[in-house]
Structure 1
Amino acid sequence: MSLIDLPHLKLSQPSSKTPGIFLLELAHSDENRFTIEFVQEITQALDRIDEILDTLPPVQAELGGALITTSKGKFYSNGLAIEAAIHQGDAFYLPYMRMLARILTFRVATVAAINGHAFAGGCMFALAHDVRVMRSDKGWMAMNEIQLGIPLIPGMAAIVRCKINKPDVLRNCVIVGKKFTAQEAVDAGFVDRTVSVEDLDSAALKYAEQMAPLAKDLTEVMYLIKAETYRDTVELLLRGGTSPAGYIGARELLAKL
């Protein structure tokens, strides 16, 4: 049964054993490109999850919780709706970055079940989760802004940096714009497991059920640990602005060297 059935997503509870586990299915056209409206719907779904978690009886809250995000078809997400982002500026980017910060620090474990391509803003969205499981046969993860001629703003670069911490992998991902297959992403360390597309939903649910007890009693402990662990990233997502490298005056500083 759907808890929310909005134009571009559906929220449900996939586990009869743990009511605190939620499944968020993305369905914004064929590519799940992020628009202001899509970000607002995801935020609305996160609000609904918080409301339910806050009202679960103690015997159910004790079991903890988790959130799975996924989609169907070729794309998990093909990133931002670029033309809208360019036209709308801060009105577009700031809500998107607040949404990423919220996923990054969500009060329960988060699992990205990557059903297909996760490019650019879609890759960042997947990286914001705690666990990533990806279908083995099709799909890539890539930060292809370099090929699109679009710079990364501070918060976006930060969320990639905090989840991809091997220098050679980070270089290949962000500077080169490499497309990582599922197995290459596992080998590089930023995807946890590959499975067949038929097993993707069950594998994601298994991760969710395993991690749900870490949020036992649904306190703020997991949120606080994530927020402190990713403090620099959260600050750049929320206060770094939308000027690429502008917040440190990089060009001016380099000109003086």
Structure 2
Amino acid sequence: MPYLTRTDDIWELYLGAEGSELDPDNPENRFAGSWITEVRGLLETVADDATGALVITATGKFFSNGLEIAEVADPTKLEGYLDSVHDIYARVLTLPVATVSAVNGHAFGAGAMLALCADHRVMRTERGYWSLPEVALGMPFPLGMASLLHERLPESVRTEAMTTGRRYGGSESAQLAIVEEAVDVDELLTRARAVAAERTAFAGANLHAIKKGMRRALLADLAPQTS
């Protein structure tokens, strides 16, 4: 299960299991129902404290491999499940602290979009891809996800990524503004923590209000579609 640590002013949210390179129950850090519940609770902990800054990362081969197949298999529960995914995005987008994604490995689909929700993104150079494979899987993009990609990616990159499922390595992702920086894995967390540390002074209610205001239209599209 995901877990949260804090050292001085820096929170770190790990998407995998503590003490394991790969979570034995969810080795690809997919958006399983229990995983979503745990991440939501950890984000609430950060939001309630509203100090410092947050780095979101994982260990092993995956940052996150996206939606849990078992969760999307039941069409009667799909809308509710997608609402829960969108809720995670909205929470990251509006946290009252600065956020940095440290993309340690493959970030596919919903996991790729989670990385985009952070204020600043750093990706490793030598292994791992950022990709939106939905077109190859025959899956449309829900409104909330499409709006997230519209806001966070340049138009030409968004069109290619969404309509071809192309896989982008770290250096290419930085060149195309999918992420702000690409660094060697040995520097990944060091760099992410440094960026986060530069922004800790801005944490609090005003930062939360600024994020909600600047992302108002996106947040409306991420709002629950089910009652």
TM-score (norm: length of structure 1): 0.80
Is 2:169 the counterpart of 1:176? no
Picking from 165, 177, 193, the partner of 1:189 is: 177
The answer to whether the Cα contact below 8 Å between 1:35 and 1:92 also exists between their aligned partners in 2 is no
Paired residue for 1:12?
5
Q: Does 1:35 align with 2:32?
A: yes
User: How big is each residue's C-alpha offset from its partner over 1:60-87, in whole Å with a ceiling of 9 and x where there is no partner?
Assistant: xxxx521111111110000010231232
Q: How does 1:124-163 map onto structure 2 within 5 Å?
A: 124-163=113-152
Name the structure 2 match of 1:46.
Answer: 43
The one-letter amino acid of 1:235's match is A
Conservation of the 8 A alpha-carbon contact between 1:133 and 1:194: yes
Residue in 2 aligned with 1:224? Answer: 209
The Cα shift of 1:90 comes to: 2.3
Question: Displacement, 1:91?
Answer: 2.7
Contact 1:36 1:96 in 2 (8 A): no
Identity of aligned residues (%): 31
Q: Contact 2:47/2:97 (CA < 8 Å) preserved in 1?
A: no
Bigger shift: residues 23-32 or 75-84: 23-32
> Which one has the largest radius of gyration?
1
Q: Does 1:70 align with 2:53?
A: no
Offset of residue 189 of structure 1 = 0.9
Distance verdict in 2 for CA 1:52–1:224, change over 3 Å: closer
Structure 1 residue matching 2:198: 3-state secondary structure = helix
Structure 1 consecutive aligned stretches of length 4 or more whose deviation exceeds 3 Å: none
In 2, the alpha carbon distance for the partners of 1:37 and 1:137 equals 31
Residue identity matched to 2:192: A
What is the CA deviation profile of residues 142-175 of structure 1, one whole-angstrom value per residue up to 9, with x for unaligned ones? Answer: 11100111001100111111100x2211111111
CA distance in 1, matches of 2:102, 2:180: 11
**Secondary structure, in 3 states, of the residue corresponding to 1:13?**
strand
- Which consecutive residues of structure 2, in runs of 5 or more, have no partner in the other structure? 17-22
Deviation of the 1:46 alpha carbon: 1.2
Cross-structure match for 1:201: 189
Task: Note the alpha carbon deviations across 1:198-242, whole angstroms, 9 max, x for none.
Answer: 111111100110111222xx2x11111111111111000004x38
Q: CA offsets per residue over residues 16-75 of structure 1, 9 Å max, x none?
A: 3x2xx210111152210001111110111012223333xxxxxxxxxx521111111110
